[in-house]
Amino acid sequence: MKRIFLFVMTNIAILAVLSVAWFVISSFFGLDPMQTAQGGLNYVTLLVFATIFGFGGAFISLWLSKPIAKWSTGAKVISQPSNSAEAWLVNTVQRQARQAGIGMPEVAIFDSPEPNAFATGATKNSSLVAVSTGLLQGMKQDEVEAVLGHEVSHIANGDMVTLTLIQGVLNTFVIFLSRVIGHFIDRVILKNEQGYGIGYFVSVIVLQIILGIAASAVVCWFSRRREFRADAGGAKLAGKRKMVDALARLQSYQGGQSQLPEQMSAFGIRGGAMAKMFSTHPPLEARIAALQNAA
């Protein structure tokens, strides 16, 4: 789950905080609009609540994505290139961003021996492209150019925003189902007939975490689909041969332990050795074949 771990966990944490705040406020004022006068659930109100909190949590995660990325990786933004390699990096991203029709992303380097890269940011015109020192040292310039094209394509394709919308829908279901199941546990299993007991609150929080992790499988599926499109975009920006060579080079590094921080996984270029359902990237051989078979 390396590829989406922090984005998902940040989202789950935000939902947990919002839920606790709601519990505290509703308990303090003795008012819960999601509960009917007869002690049942008001499903319409619950769905509205789930939608607002679900999308709210997802968009807060999106807004925090770039600062969290910088903090967690220790990525240093290149404000003024200090050498020819940094100048080439900035100029290449600038050229590709112009070709892709997006605003110039911030360009950063993070210290890691593993060849890797990621793109993140709340909008197409307020994004970040970061590469590892291992990628710059271990790959040829043409291959690095293709990797940058892949990341710029993620931004141009709006993958971060689309992921957020999908996460918002999933959050809505997670919040709704956790409270329906929690209500059942409180009323039927724990036999609580007045208000909600501690069993309900504990059940809802635990269920949100469990269902949130399960929902990440859908996010992983989405991520796998978008990788093929980003590869095609990278091939368009840098050239098909360069993109194929870059993936082949990454394939030669496969098998090592990924050191890319978990929250960057959704848009890192390498896949992890996780179960297929929770893998955010298709096998590199499948990605190479897709490029080679493209017209």
Q: Point out the least confidently predicted range of 62-76, 142-156, 181-195.
A: 181-195
Cβ atoms within 10 Å, residue 225: 11
Mean pLDDT of the chain: 82
Q: Is the pLDDT of residue 109 over 50?
A: yes
At 61 the pLDDT is 84
Mean pLDDT of 167-174: 91
**What is the spatial distance between Cα 184 and Cα 177, in angstroms, rounded to a whole number?**
11
Task: Choose, from 151, 193, 262, 285, the residue flagged as catalytic.
Answer: 151
Confidence of residue 106 (pLDDT cuts 50, 70, 90): very high
- Which of 19-33, 130-144, 258-272 is modeled with the greatest confidence? 130-144
Is 247 a residue whose pLDDT tops 90?
A: yes
Q: Which of 165, 213, 171 lies closest to 49 in space, CA to CA?
A: 171
Which is higher by pLDDT, 95 or 63?
95
Which of 280, 284, 139 lies closest to 222, judged by CA?
Answer: 280
Whole-number pLDDT of residue 30:
54
Whether 151 sits among the annotated catalytic residues: the reply is yes
Residue 8, H or E segment: helix 5-29
